[in-house]
Amino acid sequence: MIRPLKKSPRQLEWKALVKREERFITAARHQKEPLLNRKLERFVPEKLEETLNLAFYKAFELIFNRGTSIIEKTYRKEDMENTYKINAYAAGLKESRKTMKAFSREAGKNKVRNLAAAGAGGIGLGALGIGLPDIPLFTGMILKCIYETAISYGFSYDTAEEQCYILKLISTALSRGDAAESGNRSLDAMG
């Protein structure tokens, strides 16, 4: 009897990541615009929508051009890079599921804290009636989370190509239907 070849821990971890990605894209493909959004959409003046789109454009432009160094002051970049190097060294010495999962574990560590901080900031500024300054703050929190994840896997995020990838990643994550699937294919091609 021929036994199937045993998969390496790296292959098993990759397979698990691909499976999670496929579940996310499948869910996004079948997801419809929330009912509340569809009902409110007709009440939002076109001028306001343009103003919000411009505010997000300016927020990303500002952060990519001058804000990355400010975001980096909110976490210990050097410590995170050292942790990545330690995890990579451990995986190089003995490749096991534990050493492969160390990267994902490190990336997920700050997810809850960042989500809570973004929510609290948005609610706080919203309660005070301060809307537009909330957009750069929210954008900064999203990018902080992406930057921390990139460091955890050993990627940089400061070149123009990587910034384009980040923008496409955010766009795809917010897409529904066929746009989510085509966005994912585009991301795979960019990667």
pLDDT in tens, 127-157: 666 556 678 888 888 899 899 989 988 999 9
Which position has the higher pLDDT, 41 or 62?
62
Query: What integer pLDDT is reported at residue 168 of this predicted model?
Result: 93
Q: What is the pLDDT of residue 176?
A: 87
The per-residue pLDDT for range 103-119, each reduced to its tens digit, is 888 888 777 777 777 66
Can you give the pLDDT at residue 43?
78
Cα dihedral sign, 53-135-185-28: negative
Residue type, 190: M
30-52 confidence digits (pLDDT tens): 887 777 777 777 777 888 888 88
- Cα–Cα distance measured from residue 112 to residue 9, given in angstroms and rounded to the nearest whole number: 27
Task: Please return the burial class of 144, using the count of CB atoms within 10 Å of its CB with bins 0-12, 13-18 and 19+.
Answer: buried
Confidence grade of residue 86 (pLDDT, cut at 50, 70, 90)? very high
Integer Rg of the chain from CA:
20
Tell me how far apart the 2 most distant CA atoms of the chain are, in Å.
71
pTM of the model: 0.80
C-alpha–C-alpha distance, residues 135 and 140, integer Å: 8
